[in-house]
A = this chain, B = another copy of it.
Amino acid sequence: MRGDAVLSKYWSNVVRQLEPYIPGEQPKDKTYIKLNTNENPYPPSPKVIQVMQETVNESLRLYPNPACDELRVGISQYYGLTKEQVFVGNGSDELLAFSFLAFFNPGSPILFPDITYSFYPVYAALFNIEYQLVPLNEDFSISVNGFAEKNGGIIFPNPNAPTGKGIALTAIEEILKHNADQVVIVDEAYIDFGGESAVALINQNPNLLIIQTLSKSRSLAGLRVGFAMGHKDLIEALDRVKNSINSYTLDRVALAGALESFNDEAYFQDVRQRVIATREKTVARMKEMGFIVIPSIANFIFISHPLLPAITIYQQLRQKDILVRYFNKPRIDNFLRVSIGSDEEMECFLQAVAEVIQKHTK
Protein backbone atom coordinates (compact mmCIF):
# COMPACT_ATOMS: atom_id res chain seq x y z
CA MET A 1 0.00 0.00 0.00
CA ARG A 2 3.02 2.29 0.37
CA GLY A 3 4.95 4.34 -2.07
CA ASP A 4 2.39 5.73 -4.48
CA ALA A 5 0.17 7.30 -1.83
CA VAL A 6 -0.51 11.00 -1.60
CA LEU A 7 -0.16 12.25 1.98
CA SER A 8 -3.62 12.54 3.48
CA LYS A 9 -4.74 15.54 5.53
CA TYR A 10 -5.97 13.07 8.10
CA TRP A 11 -2.53 11.63 8.84
CA SER A 12 -0.81 12.56 12.08
CA ASN A 13 2.54 14.35 11.95
CA VAL A 14 4.18 11.11 13.06
CA VAL A 15 2.75 9.09 10.18
CA ARG A 16 3.72 11.72 7.63
CA GLN A 17 7.42 11.27 8.33
CA LEU A 18 7.48 7.47 8.75
CA GLU A 19 9.54 5.22 6.55
CA PRO A 20 8.21 1.85 7.58
CA TYR A 21 10.31 -1.32 7.70
CA ILE A 22 9.90 -3.52 4.64
CA PRO A 23 10.03 -7.23 5.46
CA GLY A 24 11.55 -9.74 3.07
CA GLU A 25 9.15 -10.55 0.26
CA GLN A 26 6.71 -13.47 0.52
CA PRO A 27 5.76 -13.88 -3.16
CA LYS A 28 2.90 -16.16 -4.05
CA ASP A 29 3.15 -16.18 -7.84
CA LYS A 30 5.21 -19.38 -7.86
CA THR A 31 7.26 -21.65 -5.63
CA TYR A 32 10.63 -20.25 -4.70
CA ILE A 33 13.48 -21.58 -2.65
CA LYS A 34 13.06 -18.98 0.10
CA LEU A 35 16.41 -18.01 1.57
CA ASN A 36 15.39 -14.38 2.19
CA THR A 37 13.63 -14.16 5.58
CA ASN A 38 15.75 -16.42 7.84
CA GLU A 39 12.97 -18.89 8.38
CA ASN A 40 13.87 -22.33 9.71
CA PRO A 41 13.82 -25.07 7.03
CA TYR A 42 12.55 -27.58 9.58
CA PRO A 43 9.02 -27.63 11.00
CA PRO A 44 8.22 -26.96 14.66
CA SER A 45 8.32 -29.85 17.09
CA PRO A 46 5.50 -32.37 16.53
CA LYS A 47 4.69 -31.97 20.23
CA VAL A 48 4.17 -28.24 19.70
CA ILE A 49 1.78 -28.95 16.84
CA GLN A 50 -0.11 -31.49 18.92
CA VAL A 51 -0.52 -29.16 21.91
CA MET A 52 -1.66 -26.33 19.66
CA GLN A 53 -4.25 -28.51 17.95
CA GLU A 54 -5.59 -29.51 21.36
CA THR A 55 -5.76 -25.83 22.38
CA VAL A 56 -7.93 -24.97 19.39
CA ASN A 57 -11.22 -25.62 21.19
CA GLU A 58 -14.31 -23.94 22.60
CA SER A 59 -12.29 -22.06 25.21
CA LEU A 60 -11.31 -19.63 22.44
CA ARG A 61 -14.44 -17.71 23.41
CA LEU A 62 -12.54 -16.61 26.55
CA TYR A 63 -9.72 -14.07 26.72
CA PRO A 64 -6.23 -15.46 27.23
CA ASN A 65 -4.43 -14.89 30.53
CA PRO A 66 -3.27 -11.27 30.10
CA ALA A 67 -0.20 -11.85 32.31
CA CYS A 68 0.85 -14.93 30.29
CA ASP A 69 1.96 -16.54 33.56
CA GLU A 70 2.47 -20.13 32.41
CA LEU A 71 4.63 -19.22 29.44
CA ARG A 72 6.69 -16.79 31.51
CA VAL A 73 7.23 -19.46 34.18
CA GLY A 74 8.27 -21.96 31.50
CA ILE A 75 10.80 -19.61 29.92
CA SER A 76 12.14 -18.46 33.29
CA GLN A 77 12.73 -22.05 34.38
CA TYR A 78 14.44 -22.84 31.07
CA TYR A 79 16.89 -19.96 31.59
CA GLY A 80 17.25 -20.14 35.40
CA LEU A 81 15.41 -16.87 36.02
CA THR A 82 12.26 -15.86 37.90
CA LYS A 83 8.92 -15.21 36.23
CA GLU A 84 9.31 -11.52 37.08
CA GLN A 85 12.46 -11.42 34.91
CA VAL A 86 10.62 -12.59 31.79
CA PHE A 87 8.20 -10.80 29.46
CA VAL A 88 6.49 -12.26 26.39
CA GLY A 89 4.99 -10.63 23.33
CA ASN A 90 3.84 -10.85 19.73
CA GLY A 91 7.25 -11.53 18.18
CA SER A 92 10.53 -9.88 19.07
CA ASP A 93 9.65 -6.93 16.80
CA GLU A 94 6.78 -5.95 19.09
CA LEU A 95 9.08 -6.26 22.11
CA LEU A 96 11.65 -4.03 20.43
CA ALA A 97 8.96 -1.42 19.76
CA PHE A 98 7.76 -1.58 23.38
CA SER A 99 11.38 -1.27 24.56
CA PHE A 100 11.98 1.91 22.58
CA LEU A 101 8.94 3.42 24.35
CA ALA A 102 9.86 1.98 27.75
CA PHE A 103 13.54 2.87 28.00
CA PHE A 104 14.50 5.60 25.53
CA ASN A 105 13.65 9.31 25.62
CA PRO A 106 13.32 12.04 22.99
CA GLY A 107 16.31 14.36 23.31
CA SER A 108 18.71 11.62 24.49
CA PRO A 109 20.22 10.02 21.39
CA ILE A 110 20.67 6.27 21.56
CA LEU A 111 23.46 4.30 19.92
CA PHE A 112 23.34 1.36 17.54
CA PRO A 113 25.69 0.01 14.85
CA ASP A 114 25.69 1.57 11.39
CA ILE A 115 25.12 -1.87 9.91
CA THR A 116 22.41 -3.67 11.85
CA TYR A 117 18.76 -4.67 11.92
CA SER A 118 17.05 -2.06 9.78
CA PHE A 119 13.99 -1.91 12.03
CA TYR A 120 15.87 0.09 14.73
CA PRO A 121 15.78 3.45 12.88
CA VAL A 122 12.09 2.82 12.11
CA TYR A 123 11.20 2.51 15.80
CA ALA A 124 13.32 5.58 16.49
CA ALA A 125 11.37 7.62 13.91
CA LEU A 126 8.00 6.40 15.21
CA PHE A 127 8.73 7.37 18.81
CA ASN A 128 10.82 10.46 18.07
CA ILE A 129 14.03 8.97 19.55
CA GLU A 130 17.23 10.41 18.09
CA TYR A 131 20.11 8.05 17.39
CA GLN A 132 23.78 8.01 16.49
CA LEU A 133 25.26 5.25 14.39
CA VAL A 134 28.36 3.49 15.73
CA PRO A 135 30.37 2.27 12.73
CA LEU A 136 31.28 -1.40 12.74
CA ASN A 137 35.00 -2.11 12.55
CA GLU A 138 36.48 -2.88 9.12
CA ASP A 139 35.93 -6.63 9.68
CA PHE A 140 32.24 -5.93 10.52
CA SER A 141 32.79 -6.63 14.22
CA ILE A 142 31.00 -4.37 16.72
CA SER A 143 33.16 -1.53 18.04
CA VAL A 144 33.09 -1.70 21.84
CA ASN A 145 34.81 1.69 22.09
CA GLY A 146 32.11 3.19 19.93
CA PHE A 147 29.60 2.50 22.70
CA ALA A 148 31.62 4.43 25.29
CA GLU A 149 30.21 7.77 24.08
CA LYS A 150 27.51 9.59 26.04
CA ASN A 151 24.12 8.16 25.13
CA GLY A 152 20.50 7.65 26.13
CA GLY A 153 20.56 3.90 25.60
CA ILE A 154 22.13 1.21 23.43
CA ILE A 155 20.82 -1.56 21.22
CA PHE A 156 22.63 -4.12 19.10
CA PRO A 157 22.01 -7.68 17.97
CA ASN A 158 24.20 -10.64 18.95
CA PRO A 159 24.92 -12.09 16.50
CA ASN A 160 24.56 -8.94 14.45
CA ALA A 161 22.22 -8.85 11.45
CA PRO A 162 22.66 -8.98 8.54
CA THR A 163 26.33 -9.85 9.08
CA GLY A 164 25.86 -12.92 11.30
CA LYS A 165 28.93 -11.95 13.27
CA GLY A 166 28.92 -12.56 17.04
CA ILE A 167 30.10 -10.45 19.97
CA ALA A 168 31.95 -11.94 22.94
CA LEU A 169 30.24 -11.82 26.33
CA THR A 170 33.28 -10.02 27.74
CA ALA A 171 32.71 -7.24 25.22
CA ILE A 172 29.03 -7.04 26.15
CA GLU A 173 30.01 -6.87 29.82
CA GLU A 174 32.33 -4.00 29.05
CA ILE A 175 29.53 -2.12 27.29
CA LEU A 176 27.19 -2.78 30.22
CA LYS A 177 29.69 -1.48 32.80
CA HIS A 178 30.45 1.61 30.73
CA ASN A 179 26.75 2.45 30.52
CA ALA A 180 25.42 1.59 33.95
CA ASP A 181 22.85 4.39 33.86
CA GLN A 182 21.32 3.45 30.50
CA VAL A 183 19.48 0.39 29.30
CA VAL A 184 21.51 -1.83 26.96
CA ILE A 185 19.36 -4.06 24.78
CA VAL A 186 20.95 -7.17 23.31
CA ASP A 187 18.79 -8.49 20.50
CA GLU A 188 19.43 -12.23 20.49
CA ALA A 189 17.06 -13.25 17.71
CA TYR A 190 19.73 -15.56 16.24
CA ILE A 191 21.65 -16.55 19.39
CA ASP A 192 20.73 -20.25 19.30
CA PHE A 193 22.72 -20.93 16.13
CA GLY A 194 26.12 -20.73 17.80
CA GLY A 195 26.25 -17.66 20.03
CA GLU A 196 26.49 -17.43 23.79
CA SER A 197 23.48 -15.75 25.38
CA ALA A 198 24.06 -12.83 27.73
CA VAL A 199 21.39 -14.29 30.02
CA ALA A 200 24.16 -15.16 32.50
CA LEU A 201 24.83 -11.44 32.91
CA ILE A 202 21.29 -10.48 33.90
CA ASN A 203 21.58 -10.87 37.66
CA GLN A 204 24.71 -8.66 37.82
CA ASN A 205 23.50 -6.01 35.36
CA PRO A 206 20.15 -4.34 36.07
CA ASN A 207 20.54 -2.33 32.85
CA LEU A 208 20.62 -5.40 30.56
CA LEU A 209 17.58 -6.39 28.52
CA ILE A 210 17.79 -9.45 26.28
CA ILE A 211 15.24 -10.02 23.53
CA GLN A 212 14.75 -13.38 21.82
CA THR A 213 12.23 -14.93 19.46
CA LEU A 214 10.68 -18.31 18.70
CA SER A 215 10.59 -17.46 14.99
CA LYS A 216 14.06 -18.74 14.08
CA SER A 217 15.56 -21.54 16.15
CA ARG A 218 12.17 -22.85 17.26
CA SER A 219 10.64 -22.81 13.77
CA LEU A 220 7.62 -20.75 14.80
CA ALA A 221 7.79 -17.64 12.58
CA GLY A 222 4.11 -18.22 11.77
CA LEU A 223 3.10 -18.10 15.45
CA ARG A 224 4.40 -14.65 16.50
CA VAL A 225 6.03 -15.15 19.88
CA GLY A 226 9.06 -13.36 21.29
CA PHE A 227 10.33 -12.81 24.81
CA ALA A 228 12.46 -10.41 26.83
CA MET A 229 14.62 -11.16 29.85
CA GLY A 230 16.13 -8.75 32.36
CA HIS A 231 15.81 -7.15 35.78
CA LYS A 232 12.24 -7.18 37.09
CA ASP A 233 12.08 -3.37 36.94
CA LEU A 234 12.78 -3.46 33.19
CA ILE A 235 10.15 -6.18 32.75
CA GLU A 236 7.66 -4.06 34.66
CA ALA A 237 8.30 -1.13 32.32
CA LEU A 238 7.50 -3.37 29.34
CA ASP A 239 4.38 -4.58 31.12
CA ARG A 240 3.22 -1.00 31.68
CA VAL A 241 3.69 -0.21 27.98
CA LYS A 242 1.87 -3.37 26.91
CA ASN A 243 -1.03 -2.62 29.24
CA SER A 244 -1.27 0.82 27.66
CA ILE A 245 -1.58 -0.64 24.15
CA ASN A 246 -3.15 -4.10 24.22
CA SER A 247 -3.86 -6.19 27.30
CA TYR A 248 -3.68 -9.45 25.39
CA THR A 249 -0.98 -9.64 22.72
CA LEU A 250 -0.69 -13.45 22.63
CA ASP A 251 -3.61 -15.69 21.77
CA ARG A 252 -4.43 -18.93 23.58
CA VAL A 253 -3.01 -21.13 20.84
CA ALA A 254 0.28 -19.23 20.62
CA LEU A 255 0.72 -19.29 24.40
CA ALA A 256 0.30 -23.07 24.51
CA GLY A 257 2.52 -23.78 21.51
CA ALA A 258 5.30 -21.51 22.73
CA LEU A 259 5.35 -23.16 26.15
CA GLU A 260 5.53 -26.64 24.64
CA SER A 261 8.48 -25.57 22.50
CA PHE A 262 10.56 -25.10 25.67
CA ASN A 263 9.53 -28.54 26.90
CA ASP A 264 10.80 -30.40 23.82
CA GLU A 265 14.51 -29.75 24.33
CA ALA A 266 15.71 -32.74 22.28
CA TYR A 267 13.91 -31.53 19.18
CA PHE A 268 15.21 -27.99 19.63
CA GLN A 269 18.79 -29.17 19.96
CA ASP A 270 18.49 -31.42 16.93
CA VAL A 271 17.09 -28.69 14.69
CA ARG A 272 19.61 -26.06 15.60
CA GLN A 273 22.51 -28.48 15.19
CA ARG A 274 21.24 -29.44 11.74
CA VAL A 275 21.07 -25.79 10.70
CA ILE A 276 24.57 -25.15 12.05
CA ALA A 277 25.98 -28.20 10.21
CA THR A 278 24.40 -27.07 6.92
CA ARG A 279 25.74 -23.57 7.45
CA GLU A 280 29.28 -24.83 7.91
CA LYS A 281 29.08 -27.01 4.78
CA THR A 282 27.66 -24.08 2.81
CA VAL A 283 30.35 -21.69 4.01
CA ALA A 284 33.08 -24.10 2.91
CA ARG A 285 31.56 -24.41 -0.56
CA MET A 286 31.10 -20.64 -0.89
CA LYS A 287 34.74 -20.06 -0.06
CA GLU A 288 35.75 -22.62 -2.67
CA MET A 289 33.85 -20.51 -5.20
CA GLY A 290 35.86 -17.46 -4.21
CA PHE A 291 33.26 -15.78 -2.01
CA ILE A 292 34.12 -13.61 0.95
CA VAL A 293 32.02 -15.03 3.80
CA ILE A 294 31.67 -13.10 7.05
CA PRO A 295 32.09 -15.60 9.94
CA SER A 296 28.50 -16.40 10.94
CA ILE A 297 26.97 -17.76 14.13
CA ALA A 298 23.44 -17.14 12.81
CA ASN A 299 21.10 -19.11 10.54
CA PHE A 300 22.22 -17.00 7.60
CA ILE A 301 25.47 -16.03 5.95
CA PHE A 302 26.60 -12.70 4.59
CA ILE A 303 28.58 -13.08 1.37
CA SER A 304 30.31 -11.05 -1.30
CA HIS A 305 32.07 -12.07 -4.50
CA PRO A 306 35.21 -10.19 -5.62
CA LEU A 307 34.31 -10.37 -9.33
CA LEU A 308 30.52 -10.22 -9.53
CA PRO A 309 28.28 -7.50 -8.05
CA ALA A 310 25.88 -8.73 -5.36
CA ILE A 311 22.91 -7.15 -7.13
CA THR A 312 23.69 -9.20 -10.24
CA ILE A 313 23.87 -12.44 -8.28
CA TYR A 314 20.62 -11.51 -6.50
CA GLN A 315 18.81 -10.89 -9.77
CA GLN A 316 20.17 -14.00 -11.48
CA LEU A 317 19.19 -16.18 -8.52
CA ARG A 318 15.70 -14.72 -8.58
CA GLN A 319 15.37 -15.76 -12.22
CA LYS A 320 16.24 -19.25 -11.05
CA ASP A 321 13.44 -19.05 -8.43
CA ILE A 322 15.82 -18.62 -5.52
CA LEU A 323 15.21 -15.68 -3.15
CA VAL A 324 18.00 -14.14 -1.08
CA ARG A 325 18.14 -10.71 0.56
CA TYR A 326 19.94 -7.70 -0.92
CA PHE A 327 20.28 -4.41 1.02
CA ASN A 328 21.03 -1.34 -1.07
CA LYS A 329 22.87 0.45 1.75
CA PRO A 330 26.33 1.95 2.25
CA ARG A 331 29.14 -0.51 3.08
CA ILE A 332 26.98 -3.59 2.41
CA ASP A 333 25.64 -2.98 -1.09
CA ASN A 334 27.96 -5.61 -2.49
CA PHE A 335 26.80 -8.30 -0.04
CA LEU A 336 23.94 -10.78 0.01
CA ARG A 337 22.29 -12.28 3.07
CA VAL A 338 21.46 -15.93 2.50
CA SER A 339 19.30 -17.85 4.98
CA ILE A 340 20.39 -21.41 5.72
CA GLY A 341 17.79 -23.77 4.30
CA SER A 342 17.75 -27.54 4.23
CA ASP A 343 20.71 -29.45 2.75
CA GLU A 344 18.69 -29.94 -0.44
CA GLU A 345 17.80 -26.26 -0.72
CA MET A 346 21.41 -25.22 -0.15
CA GLU A 347 22.59 -27.69 -2.78
CA CYS A 348 20.23 -26.04 -5.29
CA PHE A 349 21.43 -22.63 -4.18
CA LEU A 350 25.11 -23.59 -4.50
CA GLN A 351 24.61 -25.03 -7.97
CA ALA A 352 22.69 -21.96 -9.07
CA VAL A 353 25.41 -19.66 -7.72
CA ALA A 354 28.07 -21.71 -9.49
CA GLU A 355 26.18 -21.28 -12.76
CA VAL A 356 25.86 -17.53 -12.24
CA ILE A 357 29.55 -17.17 -11.45
CA GLN A 358 30.57 -19.30 -14.45
CA LYS A 359 28.28 -17.39 -16.81
CA HIS A 360 29.61 -13.97 -15.81
CA THR A 361 33.28 -14.66 -15.25
CA LYS A 362 34.18 -16.98 -18.12
Contacts and interface: CB of A to CB of B under 8 A. Distances in A.
A307 interface: no
B56 A43 contact: no
A109 interface: no
Interface string A60-75: 1111111100000000
A244 interface: yes
A78 interface: no
Interface stretch (A99-107, A135-143, A167-175, A327-335): A99-107
Q: Report the copy number of this chain in the oligomer.
A: 2
Contacts of A235: 1
A315 interface: no
A101 B247 contact: no
Interface string A223-251: 11000000111111101111111111111
A14 interface: yes
Contacts of A242: 20
A37 interface: yes
A65 B27 CA distance: 9
Contact of A56 (B14, B49, B94, B246): B49
Given A245-B93, A246-B93, A52 B56 contact: yes
B61 A57 contact: no
A252 to B, nearest CB: 4
B8 A237 contact: yes
A245 to B, nearest CB: 4
A195 interface: no
Interface in A189-241: 206-207, 215, 219-224, 231-237, 239-241
Contacts of A33: none
Interface stretch (A122-130, A279-287, A343-351, A354-362): A122-130
Contacts of A266: none
Interface in A149-197: 181-183
Contact of A10 (B1, B44, B233): B233
B249 A21 contact: no
Contacts of A41: 61
15 contacts: A5-B236, A11-B103, A14-B105, A15-B240, A18-B244, A21-B243, A23-B248, A37-B63, A39-B61, A43-B61, A44-B61, A60-B223, A94-B245, A94-B246, A97-B246
